[in-house]
Amino acid sequence: MKEYLFLFRGGDGSEIQHSPEKWKIHMDRWMEWMNELATKNQFVSAQPLTATGMQITGIKKIVSDGPYLEGKEYVGGYLVCLAENYHAAVEIARDCPILEFEDGVVEIREIKLQK
């Protein structure tokens, strides 16, 4: 099995956050999805990310606040899972709750393990 990183972009849930009932239903879907992965021994780790951050750029190592991105580009969290190949990772990602939003995106990247 290989490790895959899912980066979650977009999926601004601010509209449903105003409704505690809708927000709970959405967050329950996240927990069900991750628990299912854990049951199949495919779950490695996952965390949401804060909206704040810093970045260092170029050879001059310029430090600035960030990220300043549009909502659809903003990385809101990540998950690491185990899958046989990219196709299997894509199938896992298809059930991700962020895809319930019009602008929700799961970027899938294989983690290159050092030997």
3-state DSSP of the chain = CEEEEEEEECCCCHHHHCCHHHHHHHHHHHHHHHHHHHHCCCEEEEEECCCCEEEEECCCCEEEEECCCCCCCCEEEEEEEEECCHHHHHHHHCCCHHHHCCCCEEEEEECCCCC
Instruction: Write the single-letter amino acid at 54.
Output: M
Q: What amino acid occupies position 50? A: T
Taking alpha carbons only, the member of 64, 94, 65 closest to residue 81 is: 94
Of residues 84 and 16, the one with the higher pLDDT is: 84
Which pLDDT belongs to residue 105? 94
Domains, the chain, in order of start with CATH, read 2-110 (3.30.70.1060)
- Of 12 and 29, the one with more pLDDT: 29
pLDDT of residue 72: 56
Q: Residues of the chain with pLDDT > 70: what percent?
A: 90
What is the β-pairing status of strands 43-48 and 75-83? Answer: antiparallel
User: Is 51's pLDDT higher than 90?
Assistant: no
Q: Compute the chain's Rg from CA coordinates.
A: 16
Q: Please determine, for residue 40, whether its predicted confidence score (pLDDT) is greater than 80.
A: yes
| C-alpha 32, offset from chain centre | 15
Asked if residue 69 has pLDDT above 60, the reply is no
pTM as predicted: 0.86
In the predicted model, what is the mean pLDDT of the chain? 89
Residue 80 has what pLDDT?
A: 98
Say what the pLDDT of residue 106 is. Answer: 96
